[in-house]
């Protein structure tokens, strides 16, 4: 990243050899990110911080910052487009060498998530009462060991910072499952042991786990209601009830901004289609006219980037048909 990227990264299955994406203005605002429907009403977390030497501070907030972007995967236009949004936002917020460190850490975090994703199909299923037997609990422990190994291998410098509380919580939940699956305990003994475990689970740990899930929960609420055809007013009311009036107000403001951006994009798309259909233009001339149209329509470089991301996503969908 420090030497200047040349192209949007093309992901392989392992997502470990991506190059840095195309550069955009370092002064661009986050309008392109905020315009994504899944991020309406959700502020960008302040996760990028510098230490005294200008290097990236490794904090839990940094993972929350990355998770914010990961919550847009279903509407960002694909993995490469998401990489480009993250890269652009990192460049805007911090200088080198921290920017390069953050970008590399993002790539390794995504590689880690890709590696553990197949675990979802290997989790044992509980019975009709919601319980697991001893062998199934051991399966869960084996999956947890795999996750911990992947964290140490791909994210060694942040494994404890990012996942320490989560691992402690998972250990406690596995201990609960052990007790539930243990034969020879009567109900009173089982309840007593479960109560002792609950007391050992620190309140800050529970609160941190809930806080880390909040951006994704808000995103899921918005995406689900939009998919069901609910109005912005209905979504705002649901957000106010579940997450407070501040979140609802931000959603309404960003929904209005998103609608205004969409109207501009629709006008731009109509003019873009005319250029694409115009006969006699060389590929170079066509590209230059499209770039000029995009820059004229979207004065903010970040909005122009978002328009380009949407263009590529729509082109990919047309090719897939």
The number of angstroms, rounded, from the C-alpha of 312 to the middle of its chain's C-alpha atoms is 20
Nearest CA to 82 out of 64, 94, 91, 70 is that of: 70
Parse the chain into domains and list their residue ranges: 31-116+245-320, 119-209
DSSP characters over 26-91? TT--THHHHTSGGGTT-PPP----B-TTSPBP--HHHHHHHHHHHTTTTTTTSHHHHHHHHHHHHH
Lowest mean pLDDT among 18-22, 139-143, 234-238, 281-285: 18-22
The residue that leads in pLDDT, 207 or 121, is: 121
Lowest mean pLDDT among 201-210, 257-266, 280-289: 201-210
Cβ distance 18 to 9 under 8 Å?
A: yes
Q: Which residues touch 34 (CB under 8 Å, ≥6 apart)?
A: 40, 44, 254, 257, 258
pLDDT of residue 261: 79
pLDDT (tens digit, 9 = 90+) per residue, 23-55?
A: 333 333 444 455 455 555 456 777 899 998 989
Cβ distance 181 to 137 under 8 Å?
A: yes
Q: How many CA atoms lie within 13 A of 286 on its CB side?
A: 12
């Amino acid at each position: 990243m420090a030497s200047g990227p040349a192209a949007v990264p093309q992901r392989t299955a392992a997502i470990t050899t991506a190059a840095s994406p195309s550069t955009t203005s370092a002064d661009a605002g986050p309008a392109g990110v905020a315009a994504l429907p899944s991020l309406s009403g959700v502020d960008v977390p302040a996760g990028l911080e510098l230490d005294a030497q200008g290097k990236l501070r490794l904090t839990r907030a940094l993972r929350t910052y990355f998770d914010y972007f990961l919550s847009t995967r279903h509407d960002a236009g694909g993995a490469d487009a998401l990489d480009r949004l993250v890269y652009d936002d990192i460049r805007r917020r911090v200088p080198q060498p921290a920017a390069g460190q953050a970008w590399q850490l993002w790539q390794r975090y995504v590689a880690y998530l890709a590696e553990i994703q197949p675990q979802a199909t290997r989790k044992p299923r509980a019975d009709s009462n919601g319980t697991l037997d001893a062998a199934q609990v051991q399966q869960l422990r084996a999956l947890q060991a795999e996750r911990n190994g992947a964290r140490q291998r791909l994210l060694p410098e942040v494994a404890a910072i990012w996942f320490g509380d989560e691992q402690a919580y998972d250990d406690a939940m596995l201990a609960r499952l052990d007790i539930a699956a243990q034969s020879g305990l009567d109900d009173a003994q089982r309840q007593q042991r479960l109560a002792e475990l609950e007391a050992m689970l620190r309140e800050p740990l529970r609160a941190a786990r809930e806080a880390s899930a909040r951006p994704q929960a808000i995103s899921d609420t918005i995406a689900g209601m939009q998919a069901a055809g609910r109005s912005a007013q209905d979504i705002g009311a649901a957000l106010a009830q579940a997450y407070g009036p501040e979140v609802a107000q931000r959603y309404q403001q960003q929904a209005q901004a998103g609608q205004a951006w969409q109207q501009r994009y629709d006008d731009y798309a109509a003019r873009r289609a005319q250029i694409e259909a115009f006969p006699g233009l060389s590929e170079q001339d066509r590209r230059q006219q499209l770039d000029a149209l995009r820059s004229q329509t979207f004065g903010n470089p970040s909005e122009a980037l978002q328009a380009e991301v949407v263009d590529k996503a729509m082109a990919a969908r047309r090719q897939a048909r």
